[in-house]
Structure 1
C-alpha cells in the first residue's frame, strides 16, 4: 500500500519523538500540514517564522528531544534563518522542513526560487533534499538521528510537488539514539596527572560540556583545593551546592572568577569553548578536555589537549592524582567571591523609589519566581541581569543567546519551553528593543494559550549598544527608542498587562503578574543610564568613558554624563 511523502515524513517525525511543529501554513506545505492535522503532531501557528525556529529551539534545548518547524518556499523558509542559527549554536535538536518550488520550475528563475542547501548547510548538522519519494522515510530518519545525536539543527528540503508523491515505504528506516562514552588514553591521563602534581595554584574552568560530569568536576576541585570557575552557559548546573564555586569569567563575570583564572599556574578547562582569548591566563599552563578535537587550542594556546567526555575522563583521572593540601589559592578566590556577592547585593538595594535600577528588578524577580522556574533573556542587558542576579538552585533552567548574540530571542524561546513543560513557570526577560522587534507573536501566546510571563526592561534605548558606544569614547547615536505603553499593547492583544514606573510599586505588580493564570506582560520603566561593569576595569575603558564625558559636555549633554556617574559610581 502506497503512502504520500507528507504522511511518511510526519510518521517518521512522530516515531522520532517529536511532539509539535512550528510555522505558518500555506503554499508549498499545505499537504504536509494536512498530514499533520491527521497525526499526533501538534501544529503551533506562529506569526513570524523566526519565532517558530526560536520556539522550537527553546523546546529542544530544555528537553533534549526533537522539535520541528516547517516553512513555505522562498521567504517562508528564509524567515527561519536567524532562529535556526540561534538554535543550532545552542545545540538544540531541531528539524526544519524547508519546502521548495515545484521541480518542473527549477532553474528558470521562478518566483521565490532560491538555493536552500547553500543557505542551511552553514547552520546545520545535516542538510539533504528528498529527491525521490522512496527516500522520504530514510532521509527524514537520518535528519532526526543527526539532530538528536549531533545536537544541532537538521534540514530536510522538499519540493512542493514532492509532498503529494506516493511511495511504497516498505523498508523500516528508524531513528537510532546513541550514548557513546569516550576518554583519553592512559598515557595522556598520566601526563595530566604529572602537570597537576607539579602545579601549586590550580583553577578548574568548566563550561556547558561539563553538564553530564558536574559531580566529577566538583569532586576534582575538592581534591585539588582549586576554585571552580564556570562559563555563563554552565551557571545553571555549577553555581549551586558547590563549595568551590567562585563565579564566572569573561565580560559578564565577576572579579573572583576573573582573578582565579588569571592567578593560577595550571588552568584545567572542562567542556568549555569560551571564545574570548583575552580572558585566558598569560603565563599559566592550560589543559583542555573536550569531546571535539577541533575545539582543542582554538581559543588560546594550550599545553595539553585531551578528547573525552568530562565525566568519564575525570573518573579515569582521579585515581591517578593525590589530594592537594594547600588551599591558599582557593581561600583567596572564595574570599573575593564573598566580596563580589556583597557588592552584588548592594547594587540591588533600591535607594530611590522614583528610579528603578534593572538589577533591583532582576533581584526582586529572583526572590518571587518559582524555585523551578525556567528563564530566558534577550541578548543585551537583560541577559546580563539574568546571569548576574537570577540565582541557580539545581531546579531552575536558563537559556540566553550567548553564542549567536541575537535580539528578540527571549519570549519566542519561552513559547517552546512552556509548551514542552506545561505547568512550569516560564519567564522571559525582554529588552524593549527585542520586544518591539518580534512583538507580533504576542498574539501566538493568546491563540495557543501559552502562559509565558514576559518582563520588559523598558529603558527607551538599545541599552547595551549605548554602553558599547560610550566605552569606545563615542557619543551614543541612533539608540533611542520611542516605545508604546507595553502593558496596554499586551491588553489589546488579550494578555494580562501591567506597568510599573516607581520602585515601591514593583513587588505588588510582580506578584499579580506571576500569579496570573495565562500569558502576562509586565512593563517596567528602568533607568536608562546604567553601565554593565566588567570584572576588571581597564585603563583604556576609563579613558574612553572620559572621552565620552568630554564629548557629551561639549555637545550640550552634560546632564546625561552626570546622571551616568551618579547612577553607577556615586551609589
Structure 2
C-alpha cells in the first residue's frame, strides 16, 4: 500500500534526527499533523505563538542537533520570522516547515496567502515543493543547508501536497554531516607566525568560534603573555580557570577587556564577528581568523585576514611561536580586571531597598544558587547586562540569548527549547518585564508540558535599556514606563508556582524555594530601574548628555525620579 507525502515527510524527519516540532497546528498543516499523530515518534509541541516555537527550535540547534518549527499559511509564516532571524544570525541549525495555501489557489491572493520570499533574509535555503518528487529532495537540501552552513533551512509546501501519494523513487533524502577541517595555507601560517614573533603587546579577542579550541587559545595566550578578552557567546567556555581572561568588551564590557583589544600593538581576533566597530581601534594591527571568509574585514580594516577553524589553525601555528618574556601589557590588563571584579563584587553586596532591589544583588545570588551545569537564557537589554556581568562559567554552564539579533522576548521561549532538549539540566531564564509580557501567552506552554523552568523577572517597570539609550542621547525618557500585572499572580493563574519579591531580605528564600520546586516557577523581583550600565569608556560628552536628560525630566515635573536616580547613580559615578 502506497504511503502519502505526509507519512513520507514524517519518516524523513525521523531519519534526520528530528525529535520535536514546535508550532501551532491547523489549516494547511492538518494532514501532516495527523501523520505525526499516527506515527507517534516525533513530539508536536503546541506553542501559543509561532515566534516562541522558532525560539525554542533555535535553542535545540544551539545545544546540539537540528531544531524544527512549523507555521501554517501566511499568518503562521509571519509569526515565525523573528525567531528564525535570531536562529540564523546565531548560527543555529533550524528546519522551518512552512505549509501554505492549496496549489490551485496560488497566484489568486487567496485567504491567508503571503509571499514565501519573506524567508529569504533569514535562511540559507528557501524553496517550495509542489510535487511528490520534489518534497524529499527539497527537504534534504533544507536540512543540508541548515546543518552544514549553520543557519535556517525552509521547506515550504502547499497543504494539499500532504494528501498525495509519495514518490518513493525520489533521489536520496539522507542528511550528511561531514566534518571538514579548514586551515589557512602553510604560507599564510608562516606569515602569521612572523608577524606575531616580531610584535609586542599582543591581545587576543576570542569568539564563539573558539568553543572547541579552548586549550589551544589559552596556550597561545600563555606563549604570548597576551590578555584574552572574549565575546558574550564565548564567555561560558573561556572565562573559567583561565589566568589570561580579562572579561568582555563592547557595550557589556569593562575597562580591562577594552584595554586588551585597543591598548596593544597587535590584536588577534579569533572566531568572532564582533559587531561593535566603535570599540575597535584602527591604529592597532588586527588579524582576524574566521571560518567564513565573507566576514573578514567587515568591521574594521585588517592587517591580515585568514580563513580557518580556530583549533586546527592554532595547532599549526603554535609550534612556530617564540614565547614572549615581556608581561607588562598582560599585567596592566589583569590589574584592571581585578579592579573590575572588585567593583562588581561590591555592587552585588548592596541589596537595595523595598521595591528598589539592586539587580546586581539578584543576579549574583542566582549565580551562587544555580546548578553547576545550568542553562541560562537572557532577555535582550538589562537582563543580558546582569547575566553577562554576574553569571560565572564553570565549563558546564550554557548562556543563550539574542546576542546577534537583539530581540526582546527571547528568554522565556528559549527556555522552553532548553528544557525539552536537556531535561536533566536546570533551566533559568533572566526575563525583563518588557520581554516576558511581549510573549506572555507561552507561559501556558511551560505549564501545559510541566517544564521545570525557573523564570526570574527583573521587574524594573520600564524598558530599561531603551530608557538608558534616550538618556545618553540627552533625551528625557518617554514611553518607556510600564504598568505591569502581578507576574506572580499571572503565573499562579496558569498553574505555575509564583513568588513576588519586593523586599531584599525575602529574595534568597524565594529563589531557593523556586529553584528547589520540581515544577515550573516564576519569581517576580522589583528591581531598581535607575541602576546604570556603563560601557568601558564613558566620555565627558555621554555624561553631559545624561545630565541634560535629567534636567529635562526635572523641568517636566519628574523631580522625584531624578532624585531617585541621583541617589542610585552617585555610587557608580564615583567608580568612573
TM-score (norm 2): 0.97
Does residue 278 of structure 1 match 2:254?
A: no
1:260, distance to aligned residue in structure 2 (A): 1.3
1:431, distance to aligned residue in structure 2 (A): 0.5
1:146 corresponds to:
145
Comparing 424-433 and 137-146, the one that deviates more: 137-146
**Is the 8 Å Cα contact of residues 181 and 309 (structure 1) preserved in structure 2?**
yes
Does residue 202 of structure 1 match 2:202?
A: yes
Instruction: Measure the CA separation in 1 of the matches of 2:156 and 2:135.
Output: 11
1:73 corresponds to:
73
**Is the 8 Å Cα contact of residues 137 and 169 (structure 1) preserved in structure 2?**
no
**Is the 8 Å Cα contact of residues 13 and 144 (structure 1) preserved in structure 2?**
no
Instruction: Measure the CA separation in 1 of the matches of 2:199 and 2:559.
Output: 52
Instruction: Measure the CA separation in 2 of the matches of 1:140 and 1:282.
Output: 44
Instruction: Measure the CA separation in 2 of the matches of 1:343 and 1:472.
Output: 26
1:268 corresponds to:
268
Instruction: Measure the CA separation in 2 of the matches of 1:351 and 1:439.
Output: 28
1:127 corresponds to:
126
1:570, distance to aligned residue in structure 2 (A): 3.0
Instruction: Measure the CA separation in 1 of the matches of 2:32 and 2:351.
Output: 57
1:31-180 aligned at under 5 Å gives the runs 31-39=31-39, 40-63=41-64, 65-116=65-116, 118-171=117-170, 172-180=172-180
1:9, distance to aligned residue in structure 2 (A): 1.4
1:67, distance to aligned residue in structure 2 (A): 1.8
1:347 corresponds to:
347
Instruction: Measure the CA separation in 2 of the matches of 1:401 and 1:49.
Output: 17
Instruction: Measure the CA separation in 2 of the matches of 1:561 and 1:534.
Output: 21
User: Can you list the C-alpha shifts for 1:54-92, whole angstroms capped at 9, x where unaligned?
Assistant: 1111122112x0121111101122111111111111111
1:455 corresponds to:
456
User: Can you list the C-alpha shifts for 1:511-555, whole angstroms capped at 9, x where unaligned?
Assistant: 011111111100001111121111111111011011112212222
1:513 corresponds to:
514
User: Can you list the C-alpha shifts for 1:189-230, whole angstroms capped at 9, x where unaligned?
Assistant: 111111112211000111111111221111101101100110
Q: Secondary structure at the match of 2:505?
A: helix
Cα RMSD (Å): 1.1
1:360, distance to aligned residue in structure 2 (A): 0.6
1:407 corresponds to:
408
Comparing 264-273 and 547-556, the one that deviates more: 547-556
The number of residues matched between the two structures is: 569
Instruction: Measure the CA separation in 2 of the matches of 1:384 and 1:358.
Output: 10
1:543 corresponds to:
544
**Is the 8 Å Cα contact of residues 237 and 394 (structure 1) preserved in structure 2?**
yes
Comparing 207-216 and 304-313, the one that deviates more: 207-216
**Is the 8 Å Cα contact of residues 297 and 305 (structure 1) preserved in structure 2?**
yes
Instruction: Measure the CA separation in 1 of the matches of 2:186 and 2:66.
Output: 36
**Is the 8 Å Cα contact of residues 290 and 296 (structure 1) preserved in structure 2?**
yes
**Is the 8 Å Cα contact of residues 56 and 416 (structure 2) preserved in structure 1?**
yes
TM-score (norm 1): 0.98
1:119, distance to aligned residue in structure 2 (A): 0.5
1:368 corresponds to:
369
1:451, distance to aligned residue in structure 2 (A): 1.2
**Is the 8 Å Cα contact of residues 91 and 150 (structure 2) preserved in structure 1?**
yes
1:351, distance to aligned residue in structure 2 (A): 5.1
1:306 corresponds to:
306
Structure 1 residue runs of 5 or longer lacking an equivalent are none
**Is the 8 Å Cα contact of residues 379 and 409 (structure 1) preserved in structure 2?**
yes
Q: Secondary structure at the match of 2:251?
A: coil
| 145 and 206 in structure 1: CA distance in 2 versus 1, 3 angstrom threshold | same
Instruction: Measure the CA separation in 2 of the matches of 1:265 and 1:473.
Output: 35
Q: Secondary structure at the match of 1:445?
A: helix
